[in-house]
A and B are shown apart, each in its own frame.
Chain A
């Protein structure tokens, strides 16, 4: 029900409802970005902190392993393929995160613009007069679609 209200509020005729709807949607996308980015950074920082490096502890050295069955060139190619797959996956996640952030900022900016009385790139609030004028008083009492729907 709440999701329907937010989605319907995008195209509501009342600028206030439209603004709050866009603001809610933008907050949702930015919150999702922050959650995913924070989770990834936490996991990576824990993994980086747990990895140990340095000289081997003293003691008997293990016996040398059996000679590998594959050639050196095949091993290099395999490692390159593995790295490329990993990098492609990370790149896709990075692009998705950037798109999430840009979309969220765009929606939030649009919502704040509606609420502030200045609406770029749309027809509804262009040249929106300041508070107190007669036209503004009429527009402020514009009945939105959601208000009409909720009355039924």
Chain B
């Protein structure tokens, strides 16, 4: 799960940098951070709570991707009008 989240966060960050979308970039960075390793000394409940930060990162990435989707549709519309 750690490795998968790092890969997913990195790819989200790269997609965000391609589309110049801050939400996707921030969400990708938040998803790629290995939170359970940071709270390893705090015990199992702390690790479980910290892993919920991945969820927050994915929510941020979701909102950024939805914004990017709307932007892409708008861009195509502008290209059609030109």
Contact = CB atoms under 8 A, between A and B. Distances in A.
A144 B72 CA distance: 10
A17 B72 contact: yes
Given A16-B72, A30-B8, A24 B62 contact: yes
Interface in B48-82: 48-49, 51-52, 54-55, 58-59, 61-62, 65-66, 68-70, 72-74, 76-77, 79-80
Interface of B: 4, 8, 11-12, 15, 18, 43-45, 47-49, 51-52, 54-55, 58-59, 61-62, 65-66, 68-70, 72-74, 76-77, 79-80
Interface of A: 2, 5-6, 9, 14, 16-17, 20-21, 23-24, 27-28, 30-31, 34-35, 37-39, 41-42, 45-46, 48-49, 105, 108, 112, 115, 141, 143-144, 146-147, 150-151
